[in-house]
Amino acid sequence: MRTVPVFDARRQLGNIGKELIKAIDKVMSGGRFILGENVLEFEEKFASYLGVKYAVGVASGTDALSLSLTAAGVSSGDEVIMPANSYPTAFSVTTIGAIPKLVDVNPETFNIDPDKIEKAISGKTKAIIAVHLYGQAADLNKIAPHALKHGLKIIEDCAQAHGAQIRFGHNGWRRTGTVGDAGCYSFYPTKNLSCLGDGGMVVTNNTDIYRKVRLLRMYGEEKRYKSTVLGRNSRLDELQAAVLLVKLKYLNRWNERRREIASLYKVKIQNAKLNKRIVVPGEAEYARHVYHLYAVRSKKRDKLKSYLERKGIGTGIHYPKPIHLQPSFKYLGYKKGDFPESERACLEELSLPCFPELTDGEVEYVCSEINKFFPEGKSND
């Protein structure tokens, strides 16, 4: 039986493995593994790629968010507005003692609904996290006015949006992570730009945030063994930075391939336009999607997932339960029905295989099996 994985890092490693081994060997022979020349070079090159002044390598995307929030003045007891469906993001808020203030999402983009932000703002609100979910930018054109009106910081969660773009105001196209007060990236192995473990990055044009994050990532040290603020240990290591330096030059090419795959899905999945039994993702008019995940929707999600698995096709669910229905977040006081679009998205979303090394033939096979499950002109309700 033919098999199509939802993701396979080995294919990418097979293509650039020799370059990676050479870069890793160089680090090993140099003997420095923490905050050395590779981290510094990657920070500089990633900042240049995005078009920002500063970049700070940290241990993970979650740390990037929590350190940015702290550097922006968010502390224990403060409220942080964020979408109700972005499960991993919530832990960056709670780890610093802040309170996630949840907002429902736009059903077309899966991103936070800007029209529902105003109602969520209170006297305790200090920041808004704009999550660019699945590779498509949140609508910062509509989010920014709320932040400006109430004096709130905007932290961009770009963990799934490496290289994505947004047309912002009269400033033309910009990379995600460059519009808010800080942008936060994850380099987890499945990301569009990934390392061989955990890694993260904070980017900003704000000198004060930059300096604070640099202090916070290493015990709050102004210089070695002189701690001026309470920090933590959150450092991007040299081996991961060396890997990321190799991969960065391929990012645009890989993103274009993801877009090609998305276009093929849109054309080949026949029922997406006919009867909405399966809904393919669109691209917002203000955004340039990089399809970290190709997230379709269907009321028959679970049956479709099981069917595709029987056909050797891997899929994923991102995410199966919204934040407010997670047992660990019961203390927030929300109940089922409070965020209906987020709840519906969690019941309907299915991630199809989408990574640069996927072949056209594999995509067409996935589409053919989806079309068999949803035969044209017939109902399988």
In a domain, 381, yes or no: no
Q: CA 316: distance to chain centroid?
A: 15
Q: How confident is the model at residue 275 (pLDDT cuts 50, 70, 90)?
A: low
Residues 202 and 136 both lie in one domain = yes
Q: Is residue 380 part of a domain?
A: no
On whether both 145 and 168 belong to a single domain, the answer is: yes
Residue-wise pLDDT for 135-171, tens only, equals 999 999 999 999 999 999 999 999 999 999 999 988 7
pLDDT for the residue numbered 170: 85
Q: Both 102 and 173 in a single domain? A: yes
| Same domain for 291 and 181 | no
Among candidate residues 4, 2, 7, 83, the one with its CA nearest the CA of residue 291: 7
> Which pLDDT score is estimated for 278?
94
Which residue among 227, 248, 269 closes a domain?
248
- Other beta carbons within 10 angstroms of residue 73's beta carbon come to 14
Q: Which residue among the candidates 101, 116, 191, 268 is catalytic per the annotation?
A: 191
User: Angle, nearest 10°, between helix axes 61-71 and 87-94?
Assistant: 40
Confidence class for position 125, pLDDT limits 50, 70, 90: very high
From 197, 225, 248, the end of a domain falls on 248
Q: Is 126 left (phi over 0), alpha (psi -120 to 50) or beta?
A: alpha
pLDDT band for position 272 (50/70/90)?
low
Residue 321 annotated in active site: no
309 and 178 inside one domain: no
Beta bridge partners of 101: 81
Domain with 330 in it: what CATH number?
3.90.1150.10
Do 183 and 71 belong together in one domain?
yes
Q: What is the pTM of this model?
A: 0.97
Higher pLDDT, 123 or 379: 123
What average pLDDT does the segment 59-69 reach? Answer: 98
Instruction: Identify whether residues 108 and 242 lie together within a single domain.
Output: yes
Residue at a domain's end among 202, 219, 248: 248
Count of structural domains within the chain: 2
Q: Looking at the domain assignment, is residue 314 inside a domain? A: yes
Are 211 and 268 in the same domain?
A: no
Q: Are 180 and 294 part of one and the same domain?
A: no
User: Residue 265 falls within a domain, yes or no?
Assistant: yes
Residues 222 and 295 both lie in one domain: no
Same domain, 131 and 206: yes
Tell me, yes or no, whether 118 lies in a domain: yes
* Distance (Å, whole) CA 156 – CA 202: 10
* Proportion of the chain above pLDDT 70, given as a percent: 97
Name the H helices within the chain: 9-30, 37-50, 61-71, 87-94, 117-120, 140-150, 207-216, 238-248, 251-268, 271-274, 301-310, 340-348, 360-373
Task: Please tell me the predicted confidence (pLDDT) of residue 375.
Answer: 83
Q: What is the pLDDT of residue 379?
A: 53
Mean pLDDT throughout 66-77?
98
The pLDDT score that the predictor gives to residue 270 is 84
In a domain, 3, yes or no: no
* CATH value at residue 156: 3.40.640.10
Tell me if 4 is assigned to some domain. Answer: no
Tell me, yes or no, whether 196 and 69 share the same domain: yes
How confident is the model over 280-338, as pLDDT tens digits? 999 999 999 999 999 999 999 999 999 999 999 999 999 999 999 999 999 999 999 99
Quote the domain boundaries for residue 192: 9-248
What are the angstrom distances between the C-alpha of 133 and each of 43, 88, 106, 139, 239?
A: 23, 11, 11, 11, 28
